[in-house]
A and B are shown apart, each in its own frame.
Chain A
């Protein structure tokens, strides 16, 4: 059987599997480098909330954009069937924005297309993501999790000026 091959299959197997393992390892290290050395983080544990009392609980009692210091903003977003509140924010180019999110009823999604801001809005959980908008332009915020019959109607806009 192995006479047809210049290399024995057993040898080819070892090489193939070593390369496969090395490839996976290199990919994984690159990812953790980008996360922990370059600061591209995933959301983590950022607090819980009672979803029936969202509007009485700070900071969700005042949804919208707030300047923290020059060039830095906080944007508090609520997801509800079937709209985001606020529906639009305007920020200057170069601004660093921290999005703070939750849902008032069912699960919604919060994806700012063209960026890596991608959060689930889960009732009972508070989400957080920070992003710096360098270029002027418009981004859609899309609800990308099914949230009922009007799911496709749910969006908002980020305008970078």
Chain B
């Protein structure tokens, strides 16, 4: 019993102005990534004792560049791409346009936010890294810019929620199409999760940077930051999961295993992404061991839906590979379409993510975290998650999305496939370097080439970091070459195009318990209850806090 994941499988055309604004969001995201990988190269070479940063115009310190790298990659790139991509997914799934005014507001807010934060970073007044822990104090425009970038995701959320509400009004009793459900669930999770950063930035840090508040509470701000910044990793990841669930099966020639199971997975992320933030604060004094243990347990819980995802994806790929003539236990894997860049980039992203996930589970492992916390292991881990699993998925999506949005055929398919492999091998080599160095105590966030201390074992680790980072950079440059060539020289596509959505093996039910899965409002309330359990006892014990730290500008 197959069923599509969208409302009108026959086709749907986005209104022209919405197509254009989504394209601009995607462009903004990739422009940010282009800046990000240049800084990344400088950082990776720093660990190999090679200084190219001195050739970067206007860069005063390593840490100024590192701030830019974190902000443009992890915030501007991911937010801009996701705002555009999931708006498209929702609109296509419902076969109805979203509010065009809101979509333009999203774009304008993102540009303003990027300019404000960019001004502070470029002038060296915000070298506080993308985690902005007080009492290091940045220029107010940095906090305001970051706040606007978060606001852009809220406006997107409103546009998606209104779209679904309108669709339900017009289709009483119908199940929400899966592709819209997963998109909206992602934004429901993030809307709730981002409250922590919003309170911290707007309520505390912005007035503090304007001199209206004299003191900050560093532990409380860290806690509010990680309230949002663990779930942010799922806000980075879930758009890639959307593609892996509802598009990759089609692109691989397979099928999505189960509609209800997919909904359950996204609901689990809504419930469990947020009450886990203390796993970033295992080594923080001031938070009790009991609370840390609760967050550790829930973190292991939120790992489960990713294992379900692994199952669903392997199912889809195996069906696809066998349909193409693959035999035996693993022969189907070799038979996948290794010449389709959209597919190759994302399969490699998944492979990278298995290692990223495994290292993530180690980070989450309570007292084991003390072996690696804040060592180079950590960037080793997350370049295999956000830095490649997510980034390579977005690149893979771009290989059909840019042609879809510009109506121009992809130029350089062979180079696009090559690009994925180079970036993939690069990230594995860099992660190998950072991870082995980290296990030996090599610190992250450090201008290591000028540190007065070192260990002999860091030498090989640093060289691999530099080598892998260089490969990633080359892979990134080739990606942009393909992108620009497509935009400028791609052959015009005549006729209709569509988003590559899949069919499901197990269809959604039209009656029974499954209908409850669509009651996002209930699940939202359940998520709030879990948050109160996970953060309530700490806040009750800790508040009114210890607001005694004056600001410092040590940069």
Binding site for B on A (CB under 8 A): 1, 4, 9, 12-13, 16-17, 20-21, 24-25, 27-28, 31-32, 34-35, 40-46, 48, 50-52, 81, 101, 105-107, 109, 111, 113-114, 116-120, 122-128, 140, 142-153, 155
Contact = CB atoms under 8 A, between A and B. Distances in A.
Interface in B417-474: 440-441, 443-448, 450-453, 455
A16 to B, nearest CB: 5
B21 interface: no
A118 B293 CA distance: 17
Contacts of A16: 307, 311
B548 A140 contact: no
25 contacts: A1-B255, A1-B319, A17-B311, A20-B304, A44-B288, A45-B286, A45-B541, A52-B548, A81-B554, A106-B135, A111-B374, A116-B371, A118-B373, A120-B281, A122-B222, A124-B219, A124-B286, A124-B546, A125-B219, A142-B453, A143-B443, A145-B374, A146-B445, A151-B63, A153-B452
Label chain B's interface by main secondary structure: mixed
Given A42-B369, A107-B222, A155-B451, 4 more contacts: A122-B222, A144-B374, A144-B443, A144-B444
A118 B548 contact: no
Contacts of B524: none
Contacts of A118: 283, 369-371, 373-374
B304 A155 contact: no
Given A45-B288, A122-B218, A155-B453, A9 B441 contact: no
A151 to B, nearest CB: 6
B489 interface: no
Nearest to B545: A124
B505 A105 contact: no
Interface string B295-309: 011001101100110
A21 to B, nearest CB: 6
A119 B441 contact: no
A155 B371 CA distance: 18
A113 B549 CA distance: 29
Interface residues of B, number: 72
Contacts of A111: 373-375, 441, 443
Contacts of B554: 81, 105-106, 147-150
B315 interface: yes
A122 B286 contact: yes
A44 B281 CA distance: 10
A38 to B, nearest CB: 9
Nearest to B307: A20
A45 B285 contact: yes
A45 B284 CA distance: 9
B230 interface: no
B285 A125 contact: yes
A35 B290 CA distance: 11
B136 interface: yes
B555 interface: yes
B367 interface: yes
A40 B300 CA distance: 19
B497 interface: no
Contacts of A9: 257, 315, 505
B289 A41 contact: yes
Nearest to A38: B367
Contacts of B450: 152
Contacts of A50: 546, 548
A101 B286 CA distance: 12
Interface in B349-388: 361, 365-371, 373-375
Contacts of B441: 111, 113-114, 140, 142
B8 interface: no
Contacts of B361: 27
Nearest to B303: A24
A125 B452 contact: no
